[in-house]
Chains A and B, each alone.
Chain A
Amino acid sequence: MKHCLILMLLLACAPAFAHKPSDSYLSLNSVSSSPQITGRWDIALRDLQLVIDLDSNNDGNITWGELRNRQPELAQQILPMLTVQTGQGETAQPCPLTLTGLQANDHVDGTYAALHFQGNCPAAPSQLGVHYRFLFDRDPSHHGLLKSNHDGVELAVTFSDNQRRHHLDTSGAGQWQAFQGFVHQGIHHILIGYDHILFLLTLLFPAVLVWQRGGWQPAPTMHGALTQTLAIVTAFTVTHSLTLALATLGIITLPAWLVESAIALTVALGAAANLLPGLFPKRWIMAFVFGLVHGLGFASVLADLGLMGDGIVLPLLGFNIGVELGQIAIVLLFVPLAYLARDTALYKRVFVPVGSVAIMVLAGVWLVERLS
């Protein structure tokens, strides 16, 4: 006892804790136009281990195979520790959750199990009640950190042993706020959608140049460069907006792998066009045609947010505006720099050809990955 006593005193308040405390990360997406909610729940494997024995062969290691074999327990024991309902008080009705997928995810303090789930509410949720009961009986200091997204409006709450229920009041979020949320989503998704960025940039590489006598020459005037840029961006915008709307409204449906592969192909072809400019004289036509494919890709983002079908004109519009804003930001960043650099050998002989080859290779890799 003396040992503990002195050690305790010695170390008492000095070091703040090193490992992260136990937290799970929960995201919940809902829209007022659909009864379906989707979400993901990231749980540290160490925490999961306290409830289900994941280390089947008892060797001290938790492997992906061992985790995967526990899917039935995850669905029957873990997921029920989270309940979601729509409405409040006596009118509250449950939205039964089902496990739709399992992945792994690396957080700052180690690997987590990522549980993808889906819930079907009896009616489109206007308000959500969430009851979180995971792990408190094993570790009362555990926290569940929830980020919800309702009609594009984000809300963050924390569950703890003393606060196991939260009511996500989304009514305060007005339509304007929801709209802003979607604009934000649109900007976010064009900026993280590297294949879209790469496609656009590939087309814009030569926008500040003209192909003459078998070589790239700098565009003689700002006017010429701007006209080319504007033609490309407008053509891309018109067609991707069109297919984004058609896909989101459910008029066109194509499997995701096909769309994703086709996008990779457009990037590769765009890069090829830079290397063989003689064969593709009108780049805006390429932007126009391939924009159709990219619009389908944007639509999958809205679908991931649970946004499909009726009553989504406003989110669709907001999202589309966001995509265009993000696109304009990229153009404004790239084109002036390219314009200034257009007369240099580095730009004409290295940046455009080498960059295009590299992009073609990269897009080829994506294509193979997405087709397999």
Chain B
Amino acid sequence: MPITVSWINPQTGRRFPAALLLILCGGLLVSTTGAAPYTPDNNNTVLATLSDSQRALTLASPPQNEADALRLARAQIDYGRQQGDPRFLGYAQRTLAPFSQPPSPAVSLLWADIEQQRHQFTRARTRLTRLLEQHPNQGQGWLMLANIERVQGQFDAARQACGNAANSLPPTTVVLCQASVQAMTDQHQRAYATLQSLADSPLVSDTTQSVWLQTLIAEMAIQQGEPERAQRALDAALALAPQDAYLRYLQNDLWLQQGHPDAVIADLKNWQDRDNALLRLAIAGQRSQHPQAGQWQQAYQQRLDAAEFAGRTVHQREHARYLLQVDPSPTEALAVARDNWQQQKELTDLRLLLAAATAADNADAQATARDFIDTHGVHDAALQAHWPEAQP
């Protein structure tokens, strides 16, 4: 049991000196997973609260027909993504299990979605490729495949997958798909212009498509070093989808970049149960010397420890960022950023790799990043800040 007693002596107002010693000794303690168990002193003590959606999405009896199963699994996956709660992927897996021998195209797509969310990219790619060989009109499958290829830096394959979706999806969707890939290549200027004119046209009226469009514009504006333009796009997107976790994190990262840690703390204080929010709170708290900064950092560190204890490595991107920005440890950060780079090659990952390589002064990793930038013609203001000569 870790000792953290440190009470004030009522007579003297001094901190109890022995407590300091105890804390010293406490530092020597071996920490174990989970504190000591306890017996609550009251039967009415609330130990856990179940949300309505949670109860609705964890039915005792699984759906008996495929249509119901698809609806439930879709809802479970979406809720899990929205809440950042991986248990719901497991529930969806179970919902789909009875309809997976062999799976219909719709079931396959949901399986691929679960797999890619777990960063099992190879499995998801194999599954999608096999599906699309037999059902080339599954536009959604092409979009998912394009996304996986893009995340893994296979931009030619990604563009081809976007193109294949054109047979079954509306042209605006295909344009958005292509632009998301071009953003990482020397086509970024053209893609940025296309997106802006698309935003000014009446072609995109569907809410979710508009959110996607504005999100891409915001990301590309950040990439171009136009924070005000990015903020406008973010405002537009957040007006349509205020609770969207991805957008919220993008907004908070922009605030961090622009030196507004207080805005981050105000926005994410109620999201502390989510790792991604906790990481940003730890960064913002440290920068603004917030009284809770240490607490957020410790909480995030505990999450990392718990993941490590369970042998999970899905958090590499965030882990690298933590080691760069919260608890600086360049060598370790570089090791994690490199492992992450094997899995994911989005702009965020490239920025982390380069930042870690620079911090650790590692020429080899710098060359890896440089090669990637040169090969694909990546343009990014943040990268240039790290490495001014990165652009021709």
Chain A contacts to B: CB under 8 angstroms: 1-23, 25, 40, 42, 45-47, 49-50, 55, 60-65, 67-68, 103-112, 114, 116, 137-143, 145, 158, 188, 191-192, 194, 197-198, 201, 329-330, 333-334, 350-351, 354-355, 357-359, 362
Provide the residues of chain A in CB contact with B244, threshold 8 Å: 11
Pair B29/A192 contact, Cβ less than 8 Å: yes
Pair A104/B47 contact, Cβ less than 8 Å: yes
Q: Is B315 among interface residues, defined by CB-CB distance under 8 A? A: yes
With CB as the reference atom, state the residue of chain B lying closest to A40.
B37
Provide the residues of chain A in CB contact with B74, threshold 8 Å: 4
Provide the residues of chain B in CB contact with A13, threshold 8 Å: 116-117, 119, 147-148, 151, 344, 346
The listed residue (A18, A62, A142) touching B47 by CB distance below 8 A is A62
Range for the number of chain B residues in contact with chain A? 35 or more
Pair B206/A2 contact, Cβ less than 8 Å: yes
Pair B46/A65 contact, Cβ less than 8 Å: no
The listed residue (A65, A111, A362) touching B43 by CB distance below 8 A is A65
Q: Is B90 among interface residues, defined by CB-CB distance under 8 A? A: yes
Further pairs besides A9-B147, A10-B215, A20-B86: 7, Cβ < 8 Å: A17-B80, A17-B315, A18-B278, A104-B39, A108-B303, A116-B37, A198-B18
Pair B48/A62 contact, Cβ less than 8 Å: yes
Provide the residues of chain B in CB contact with A62, threshold 8 Å: 46-50
| A253 and B12 alpha carbons, distance in the complex (Å) | 43
Pair B22/A197 contact, Cβ less than 8 Å: yes
10 shortest A-B CB distances, which residue pairs?
A18-B84, A65-B43, A18-B274, A141-B90, A139-B90, A114-B37, A103-B37, A64-B40, A105-B37, A45-B48
Q: Given A17-B275, A18-B85, are A64 and B44 also a contact pair (CB < 8 Å)?
A: yes
Pair A14/B34 contact, Cβ less than 8 Å: no
| A125 and B345 alpha carbons, distance in the complex (Å) | 50
What is the minimal beta-carbon distance from A213 to any residue of chain B, in angstroms?
A: 25
> DSSP class of B's interface residues: helix, strand, loop or mixed?
helix
Provide the residues of chain B in CB contact with A20, threshold 8 Å: 86, 303, 306-307
Provide the residues of chain B in CB contact with A158, threshold 8 Å: 310-311
Pair B43/A188 contact, Cβ less than 8 Å: no
Provide the residues of chain B in CB contact with A355, threshold 8 Å: 16-18
Provide the residues of chain B in CB contact with A23, threshold 8 Å: 306, 310
Pair A194/B22 contact, Cβ less than 8 Å: yes
Binary interface encoding of chain B residues 39-75 relative to chain A, with 1 for a CB under 8 A from any of its CBs, else 0 = 1101111111111101100100000000000000010
Pair A201/B9 contact, Cβ less than 8 Å: no
Q: Is B269 among interface residues, defined by CB-CB distance under 8 A? A: no
| A360 and B84 alpha carbons, distance in the complex (Å) | 48
Pair A16/B46 contact, Cβ less than 8 Å: no
With CB as the reference atom, state the residue of chain A lying closest to B119.
A13
| A16 and B204 alpha carbons, distance in the complex (Å) | 29
Provide the residues of chain B in CB contact with A3, threshold 8 Å: 208
- Show 5 residue pairs from A and B whose CB-CB distance is below 8 angstroms, ordered by the A residue: A16-B318, A22-B87, A49-B50, A194-B25, A358-B16
Chain B contacts to A: CB under 8 angstroms: 1, 3, 5, 9, 11-12, 14, 16-19, 21-22, 24-25, 28-30, 33-40, 42-52, 54-55, 58, 74, 78, 80-81, 83-87, 89-91, 93-94, 97, 113, 116-117, 119, 139-140, 143-144, 147-148, 151, 173, 177, 206, 208-209, 211-212, 215, 244-246, 249, 273-278, 299, 302-303, 306-307, 309-312, 314-318, 344, 346
Pair B113/A8 contact, Cβ less than 8 Å: yes
Provide the residues of chain A in CB contact with B278, threshold 8 Å: 18
Pair A106/B35 contact, Cβ less than 8 Å: yes
Q: Given A64-B40, A141-B93, are A354 and B34 also a contact pair (CB < 8 Å)?
A: no
Provide the residues of chain A in CB contact with B140, threshold 8 Å: 1, 5, 8
The listed residue (B5, B14, B47) touching A63 by CB distance below 8 A is B47
Pair B91/A17 contact, Cβ less than 8 Å: no
| A362 and B19 alpha carbons, distance in the complex (Å) | 11
Pair A143/B310 contact, Cβ less than 8 Å: yes
Q: Given A201-B18, A201-B21, are A64 and B86 also a contact pair (CB < 8 Å)?
A: no
Pair B84/A19 contact, Cβ less than 8 Å: yes
| A194 and B85 alpha carbons, distance in the complex (Å) | 38
| A341 and B43 alpha carbons, distance in the complex (Å) | 50
Pair A105/B36 contact, Cβ less than 8 Å: yes
Provide the residues of chain B in CB contact with A137, threshold 8 Å: 94
Provide the residues of chain A in CB contact with B28, threshold 8 Å: 191, 329
Provide the residues of chain B in CB contact with A17, threshold 8 Å: 80, 84-86, 117, 275, 314-315
What is the minimal beta-carbon distance from B10 to any residue of chain A, in angstroms?
A: 10
What is the minimal beta-carbon distance from A75 to any residue of chain B, in angstroms?
A: 17
The listed residue (B1, B40, B113, B275) touching A18 by CB distance below 8 A is B275
Q: Given A2-B206, A191-B29, are A63 and B43 also a contact pair (CB < 8 Å)?
A: yes
Provide the residues of chain B in CB contact with A49, threshold 8 Å: 48, 50, 58
Q: Given A8-B113, A15-B245, A42-B37, are A139 and B91 also a contact pair (CB < 8 Å)?
A: yes
Q: Given A198-B18, A350-B17, are A107 and B47 also a contact pair (CB < 8 Å)?
A: no
The listed residue (B35, B86, B276) touching A141 by CB distance below 8 A is B86
Pair A145/B38 contact, Cβ less than 8 Å: no
Pair B306/A108 contact, Cβ less than 8 Å: yes
Pair A21/B177 contact, Cβ less than 8 Å: no
Pair A334/B21 contact, Cβ less than 8 Å: yes
What is the minimal beta-carbon distance from B335 to any residue of chain A, in angstroms?
A: 17
Pair A64/B45 contact, Cβ less than 8 Å: yes
Provide the residues of chain B in CB contact with A354, threshold 8 Å: 9, 11-12, 14, 16-17
Pair A111/B143 contact, Cβ less than 8 Å: no
- Among B275, B302, B316, B346, residue most surrounded by chain A Cβ atoms (within 10 Å): B275
| A140 and B93 alpha carbons, distance in the complex (Å) | 7
